Amino acid sequence: MAEKQKKRSEIEDKYKWRLEDIYASDDLWEKDFAEIKIKTEVMKEFKGKLTSNATNLQKGLEIYFDIDRILSKASIYSSNKKNEDLNVAKYQEMNDRLDSLFADISSEVVFVKTELTKLTQEEFNKFVKENSSLELYKFYMDEIFRLKKHVLSDDEEKLLAMSSEILGSPRNTFSMLNDADIKFPVLIDDKGNEVELTKGNYSKFIQSGDRNIRKEAFEKFNSVYMSYKNTFASTLNSKIKTDVFFSKIRKYESPIELALYGDNVEVSVYENLIETIHKNLEKLHRYFEIRKKYLNLQELHLYDIYVPMLKDIDKEIPYVDAVDMVKSALQVLGEDYNKNMNIGFESNWIDVYENEGKRGGAYSSITYDTNPYILLNHQNNLNSLFTIAHEMGHSMHTYYSNKNQPYLYGGYTIFVAEVASTVNEVLLMKQLVKNAESKEEKMYLLNHFMDQFKGTVYRQVQFAEFEKITHDKIQNGEALSADKLCEIYYDLNKLYYGENVISDDQIKIEWARIPHFYRSFYVYKYATGFSAAIAIAERISSGDKEALDKYLEFLKSGGSDYPIELLKKAGVDMSTPEPVQKALDFFGELVDEFERLMNEK
């Protein structure tokens, strides 16, 4: 009989986060909820006169960001309370009320951005001289001025806002088809039971040790998408055409420039990433050659690339031991980092174990006015060990940002968000490999990280290249039929996976099921962040004191500059191909070491 999940009341307090540090009671949350409404009414009084003088601008911006700050704090509390136990209706309702309030406030204060956009650089500089408190908003306003040339007239912006729901329909249609309407056939599992194939259990079947099961799952899963290929082609075409439409009316050279402009990232960064990957595809091809040999297969098919080469390490890693292992691996990050991280482990930042009704997965959540919070669902295994290191990386980035930046610049963009978490994972991996108790354990760890690298760098860049090709074709007036999309994707798959992998015909439809393609030119950030993190971790682990100092400065910088500039503080220049090349060299070393161990008698 399966072990019954514990109720939340049965979990020891030392293994639960202390959300009382945000609000000591729900009544205090209600007080802030009311305060948000009051401040919004005050904010509305600045409409039409926000930029009339320095005093109004300073007071208006102060209230505007106060509203955002309180909203953020209230949201973290209600969402975390909800996620503790999804069966508790009270916190579901609190969260829903806050969502509704946020929507109302957004429409009430939309005038702020409009009026700031009308302000000139010269007028703002004059206001700063009159009121030095406005110095705080200099970088924020620089961003407003940088984007200004792409902002339309009030009537045009209003029209676009009114049409946003219609223009977002391709993504919504894809989601409904992909998540609700599409149905998959039945297959026989390794115990002889009939099981309905789903998107959720597909990953389990494609990793099955029984080759017939994973082949059947691969073929049946993709055949369903193939039967809807024209519908999926229609939704993706519409999304790409929407991107082209927005880039034209906002006066960008291309949809990719529009997507990267917000982070102030040059298109050359995107292009350098693809070019550097192309120059290093032989490393991935060697990995597949080794996989083919290790699995002792005559042919390596696409349904063979996810099955683990080695069985899971049968090693119990209780939470207390996992914490000690993370602490040990991160000693190299210095005394101050470890002191503050230890406070996190000992001061109820973390909600550790599963309980009845608790949300699955793991995340780190941010509130500027308290410590970060981490939700885990810890299992005593290797994956959970890495999850602790990963989420603590996010939380320490948040901790340092909030301690060293004003609220306005405490947050940071997705471009840099995965750096700190991956640095921790790389440092943990290095220590685990160094201390491995057997050749098999070391090979398992190497394989774990090679697969992570393959999925986060090579696969995401393949997606990024597909996005660029398809957008370029639509922008140039070409048509993208379902068959053309399949052809583009299939050719890329053969390029990336090489001759050591049989590119099965069914893979050509994989583009149809990738939700990231409806958030255009986003996935490349996984690869750049991962590459930057490896470069940083390599330097720090070598004992480079200057590299550590630069990394800590980066953690403290929050969102006070553009992401490329922030990473330069950490000693990594992502405007050049060098960090990506170094990360790929690191991958090559992992492949070499695995092969050496594989051939060792």
DSSP 477-519: T----HHHHHHHHHHHHHHHH-TTSB--GGGGGGGGG-GGGGS
Q: How confident is the model at residue 1 (pLDDT cuts 50, 70, 90)?
A: very low
Integer-rounded Cα radius of gyration of the chain? 26
User: What's the whole-number mean pLDDT along residues 187-195?
Assistant: 89
Q: pLDDT band at 367, cuts 50/70/90?
A: confident
pLDDT tens, residue by residue, 506-544: 999 999 999 999 999 999 999 999 999 999 999 999 999
* Residue of higher predicted confidence among 601 and 207: 207
> Mean pLDDT for the chain?
93
Q: Where are the domains of the chain?
A: 10-162, 185-227
Residue 421: CB atoms within 10 Å: 23
Q: Would you state the structure tokens that stand for residue 514, as one six-digit string?
A: 């990738």
By residue count, the chain amounts to 601
> Which residue has tokens 């001289």?
129
With b for 16 or more beta-carbon neighbours within 10 A and e for fewer, the 314-339 pattern comes to eeebebeebbebbbebbebbeeebbe
Q: What is the mean pLDDT of residues 13-30?
A: 96
* DSSP-based helix, strand, coil % in the chain, nearest 5: 70, 5, 25
CA distance 508 to 492: 9
> pLDDT by residue (tens digit) across 419-445?
999 999 999 999 999 999 899 999 999
Domain 10-162 belongs in CATH node 1.20.140.70: yes
Q: What is the mean pLDDT of residues 231-246?
A: 96
Q: Exactly one of 216, 289, 391, 510 is catalytic; which is it?
A: 391
End-to-end CA distance of the chain: give it in Å, rounded: 43
Long-range Cβ pairs for the range 158-165 (8 Å, 24+):
160/249, 161/110
In tens, the pLDDT along 547-560 reads: 999 999 999 999 99
| Token pair of 98 as six digits | 């806050």
* Mean predicted confidence (pLDDT) in 309-325: 87
Share of the chain above pLDDT 70, in %: 99
Q: How confident is the model at residue 130 (pLDDT cuts 50, 70, 90)?
A: very high
What is residue 393's predicted lDDT score, i.e. its pLDDT? 97
**How many angstroms separate the CA atoms of 298 and 436, rounded?**
31
| 391 catalytic per annotation | yes
Where does residue 155 fall: left (phi above 0), alpha (psi -120 to 50 degrees), or beta otherwise?
Answer: alpha
Per-residue confidence band for 314, with pLDDT thresholds at 50, 70 and 90: low
- Predicted TM-score (pTM) of this structure: 0.89
Residues near 172 by beta carbon (within 8 Å), at least 6 away in sequence: none
**CATH of the domain spanning 185-227, picked from 1.10.287.830, 1.10.150.120, 1.10.3720.10, 2.40.160.20:** 1.10.287.830
pLDDT, position 107:
80
- From 412, 378, 351, 406, select the one nearest 21 (Cα to Cα): 351
The torsion angle over the Cα atoms of residues 566, 572, 578 and 584, rounded to 10 degrees, is: -110
Enumerate residues 6+ apart whose C-beta is below 8 A from 227. Answer: none
Q: What is the pLDDT of residues 261-285, one digit of tens each?
A: 999 999 999 999 999 999 999 999 9
Q: What is the pLDDT of residue 601?
A: 62
pLDDT confidence band for 10 (50 / 70 / 90): very high
Q: What number is the average pLDDT over the span 82-102? A: 91
Looking at the chain, the number of H-run helices and the number of E-run strands are: 27, 5
Per-residue confidence band for 317, with pLDDT thresholds at 50, 70 and 90: very high
pLDDT at 297 over 60: yes
pLDDT digits (tens, 9 = 90+) for 161-181: 778 778 888 998 998 899 888
Cα gap 12→31, rounded to integer Å: 30
